Amino acid sequence: MDLGFIGLGAMGRPMARHLLRAGHRLCVWARRPATSEPLHADGATVCASAAEVARRSAVVFTVLTADSDVEQVVLAPAGLLEGFSSGSVLIDMGTVSSGLTRRLASRLAQNGVAMLDAPVSGGEQGAIDATLAIMVGGDAQVLERVRPLLACLGKTIVHIGDHGAGQVAKACNQMVMVGAIQAIAEALHLSRAAGVDPQRVRQALSGGSAASRVLDTLGLRMVDRHFTAGVEARLHHKDFRIINDEAHRLGVPLPVSAPVTQQLNALIANGWGQCDTSTLLRVLELSAGEGQ
């Protein structure tokens, strides 16, 4: 198929490569031209604008950071909407608000363009390995049309519901995952304060009912004090802003996630936004007056 891809960062670049390797023709565009060079070397066509990507593609993927980024790429002059023809499909695989997704889907539908929100879980390694979990909102028939494309990118594809439902599922995913990171940080900080080896505690927890992928990966980072980013903490901070906005809109209490938000705020305030989210351990240490 003729496909387009915008958002060639740590997640998007390997995802775009999987589509190329599957034999599809790929057009790309990036706000920073250097970002598209590796994909050009792999055989992708570099376009001069998002509109050109849309004109040359039946399906366009976006993997962008924030609501404002997606809105700009879709609706701004020379944006995707300017280039889409009726029958095209936009698949937004970044993590943004469900409200924005619903607004964009409605606007695109006026031009005969379908949209799916399809945020992912699995991180950069999942993108590299094509093992992402993909949570899809939008029309089920549109999903079936593009399911073979999504199958190039992930191993679990679940249709959650109508437009925005995929983003709600991703918000729930982040609540559980980052809440677990905070809990692990507190557990390992407590063990150290009690004079007990955190590495042995993590090993014991991994063999019991507290075992999880988060404990295996993020817990190990904390024990090894390896805070170089797997996923930059600023992205989880952004996700929790979306979560809190949605909860405020719905009047839903967040007795666990709200305090986690404050810990993420402290992490950002200390200049650690580009570090891994396991740096939540350092926030606890700093609060306890411990050396860094």
The pLDDT tens digits of the residues spanning 254-275 come to: 999 999 999 999 999 999 999 9
pLDDT at 232: 93
Helix (H, G, I), strand (E, B) or coil at 91: strand
pLDDT at 266: 98
Mean pLDDT of the chain: 96
Average pLDDT over residues 129-155: 98
pLDDT at residue 10 tops 60:
yes
Residue 170 annotated among the catalytic residues of the structure: yes
Pair type for strands 45-46 and 2-6:
unpaired
Share of the chain above pLDDT 90, in %: 96
Does the reported pTM lie above 0.85? yes
Q: Which of 11, 4, 9, 6 is nearest to 127 (CA)?
A: 11
- Confidence at 290, pLDDT banded by 50, 70, 90: confident
Give the active site residue among 170, 234, 236, 238.
170
Sole residue written with tokens 């014991």: 204
Architecture of domain 2-162: 3-Layer(aba) Sandwich (3.40)
Is it true that 2-162 and 168-287 share their CATH fold?
no
262/272 Cα distance (integer angstroms): 14
pLDDT at residue 277 tops 70:
yes
Average pLDDT over residues 87-93: 98
For the chain, domain boundaries: 2-162, 168-287
Tell me the per-residue pLDDT of 190-237, one tens digit each, with 9 for 90 and over. Answer: 999 999 999 999 999 999 999 999 999 999 999 999 999 888 999 999
Domain range 168-287, its CATH number among 1.10.600.10, 1.10.1040.10, 3.10.20.30, 3.30.70.360: 1.10.1040.10
Q: Which of 114, 118, 231 is nearest to 169 (CA)?
A: 118
Tell me the per-residue pLDDT of 113-140, one tens digit each, with 9 for 90 and over. Answer: 999 999 999 999 999 999 999 999 999 9
Helix (H) or strand (E) holding 203: helix 198-206
Q: Which tokens belong to 167?
A: 């983003």
pLDDT at 264: 98
- Confidence at 55, pLDDT banded by 50, 70, 90: very high
pLDDT at residue 292 tops 60:
no
pLDDT at residue 165 tops 90:
yes
pLDDT at 291: 61
Share of the chain above pLDDT 70, in %: 99
